[in-house]
Copies of this chain bind each other. A is one copy, B any other.
């Protein structure tokens, strides 16, 4: 069987599984999830053995210590995967929600009801826990999933999936509800993302290069965010103590995340007051500053920011700083250099805030809060499969509801169109 045929077969199997999944009750889905969690706990040994093979191959291939750490599965990490599946089981079923209901003058009752998307492909990198986390979320939303993890984790991913499938099957999980792409050939991704009619949605999780490669080849919808170039704008009417706390939190609390801020915009009216103090605080926290000319006049230790820097997602303790004439220039900067992810304004002026919240084109915008809140858990979604900066389909944090679509159901008594 060649690669194309192999992927088509995965797709056809997933389509059949998605129909079987759609017929499960909430209780049946939750039973499967809990059985899968139990399976992971009871079968930790074969999973760890498979993981040891990946780690050995990784060390032989010279993977960095950071990458090896991400790849490694401990009892604690396996228990966390099981816990994640149980938490998803405890969440409300996202399928069957009535999103709209109307009775037409002819008596036809129309209901807009959430339904599973169908077949979802997840493309990810080295963390094997994604195999369990993504499976759990897709299953609860009634979707069949095809998983394509990094080649360095292939043995771990296969073992996790096998354990989940065997345990799930005993609780009624349909065959092929979760499938791991067995080949590590890169061409497999290209085939998968072109399978119109068999694959309904692709969610790539990883760095910008991975996501661009997926999106450029895709013929099916891709839900994604390329990067998180997030901004905090400190307005002339900001409470500067609050502004300082928000900037420090947004930049430093976990700088390697997509919702960490990369660029600080400061209203010229408060630049003289605010910039030296925030620079001192950030410098104590080892943040490297890159500023425009006005910033560098007030903060001589800042390096000059290049045009390219404004577009940059550092994911590190580096931050751009720019002095702007006011809120309109801040909005203009964000809409030009930003990534439509998460941006915040600090101001006591409601009108200024409203303008910013309306005109900044991003999945999440904040008034007097840190950009770090863009997260399924923080939004109360219970679990997260990713964050989207798309404008069609889900936008912002994606939890269970965002893994569903809808259908219109018409309940009639013989209505005809006149």
Contacts and interface: CB of A to CB of B under 8 A. Distances in A.
A381 to B, nearest CB: 10
B245 A365 contact: no
A223 interface: yes
A412 B415 CA distance: 50
A337 interface: no
Given A201-B392, A358-B22, A391-B201, A372 B417 contact: yes
Contacts of A201: 391-392
A108 to B, nearest CB: 6
What is the interface residue range for chain A against chain B? Answer: 35 or more
B391 A405 contact: yes
Contacts of A357: 409
A368 B413 contact: yes
Nearest to A361: B118
Contact of A19 (B335, B368, B407): B335
A245 B417 CA distance: 10
Interface string A404-418: 011111111111110
Contacts of A378: 104, 417
A191 to B, nearest CB: 16
Given A102-B380, A249-B417, A408 B365 contact: yes
Given A23-B359, A216-B219, A221-B221, A405 B412 contact: no
Given A249-B417, A410-B367, A414-B239, A390 B221 contact: yes
B19 A417 contact: no
Given A246-B416, A379-B110, A392 B359 contact: no
Contacts of A416: 245-246, 249, 253, 369-370, 372
Nearest to A354: B409
B108 A412 contact: no
Given A108-B369, A359-B22, A118 B412 contact: no
Contacts of A406: 395
Contacts of A417: 249, 253-254, 370, 372-373, 378
Contacts of A104: 378-380
Interface of A is mostly: mixed
Given A391-B405, A395-B406, A414 B223 contact: no
A123 to B, nearest CB: 16
Contacts of A361: 19, 118
Contacts of A412: 366-370
Given A369-B414, A410-B373, A417-B253, A392 B117 contact: yes
Interface string A99-126: 0001010001010100001100000000
A85 interface: no
B23 A391 contact: no
A362 interface: yes
A367 B22 CA distance: 19
A370 B395 CA distance: 34
A414 B242 contact: yes
Nearest to A200: B391
B370 A396 contact: no
Contacts of A400: none
26 contacts: A19-B361, A23-B358, A23-B359, A102-B380, A104-B379, A112-B396, A117-B392, A201-B391, A221-B390, A245-B416, A249-B416, A253-B417, A357-B409, A364-B408, A364-B410, A365-B407, A366-B409, A366-B412, A367-B409, A367-B412, A369-B410, A369-B416, A372-B416, A378-B417, A393-B393, A395-B406
